[in-house]
Amino acid sequence: MESEVKKPFLIGVAGGTASGKSTVCKRIIGKLGQAEVNDQQRQVVSISQDSFYRELTQEEKLRAQKGRFNFDHPDAFDEKLMYTTMKDILEGKKVTINSYDYRTNSICPNKTVTIYPADVVLFEGILVFYFPEIRELFHMKLFVDTDSDTRLARRVPRDINERGRDLDQVLNQYMLFVKPAFEEFCSPTKKFADVIIPRGADNTVAIDLIVQHIRDFLSNRLSLDALTLSPTSTPALNGAAINGSRDEFLQSALRRFSSSVINRKLFTILYDRHI
């Protein structure tokens, strides 16, 4: 039998720096029961746009070391790589992405992350809605809307503790690049969002609604897939549905979709429709 190609539900998560994008993604992953699952088995994965910062020229590297490079401008990203990676993910392919090191302002040499095909892929970053071709790929677009004072108050300790900066560097970079670029490039993309999440990860009501929407979408898609099964594409499943017992049908359906986060009660309904 042909192996199943997983075409994921692709979710874009945009928002200003330190708005809580990655925390929101973690909450969604947790609520879908995927927090403890290992990389290869994981059905819900999150990718950061930071993996798509482009390599800097020598001259740009020197400027970056002095805090004079604008990492909040769209030109700082490798748009083409972002697009081809998202397309590959949507085609159910396994992809390899870069790891980024904020301390050196560059891609980590010899360190990549493999993203295995999954049911749900979250792609989070300050400018994920900026590039039209990439924006159009998302099935759902979220904007994490946290006020700028809170964001700055979170960014300062984070950049000092986790990204190797001192207070002056963080504040200078914020005033020179981060704040103006947020206003020019990130904030205007809020209008493309399907859901705006005020207060980020604190907004449990919004996160629960989003999680429910993801579950509904996946259930509906699975329902359509199962209703259009052809004997050539999935002989085992169809054979059981046509010739076998109700239990055989459910067993083979569950085997096929056993790694999915989708509600399995659906198969009972489908079986009743088929037979």
34: contact with ligand ADP by CB under 6 A: no
Mask for 150-169, x = binds ligand ADP (CB under 6 A): ----x---x-----------
CA torsion angle for 22, 23, 24, 30 (degrees, to 10)?
110
- Taking the least distance from each CB to ligand LLZGTKA7, the nearer of 151 and 256 is 151
Residue whose CB is less far from ligand ADP, 11 or 18: 18
- Please state, in angstroms and rounded to a whole number, the distance separating the CA atoms of residues 11 and 25: 10
Instruction: Return the residues of window 53-92 that contact ligand LLZGTKA7 according to CB under 6 A.
Output: 53, 71-72
Among 12, 20, 130, 262, binds ligand ADP (CB under 6 A): 20
105 forms part of the interface with ligand LLZGTKA7 (CB under 6 A)? yes
d(CA 115, CA 95): 5
Per CB under 6 A, the segment of 13-21, 30-38, 114-122, 215-223 that binds ligand LLZGTKA7 is 13-21
Q: How many CB atoms lie within 10 A of CB 163?
A: 14
Q: Return the bridge partners of 198, or none.
A: 145
Three-state DSSP state, 32: coil
Spell out the residues 6+ positions from residue 191 whose beta carbon is closer than 8 angstroms to its own.
Answer: none
Binding site for ligand LLZGTKA7 (CB under 6 A): 17-18, 21, 50, 53, 71-72, 102, 105, 126, 178
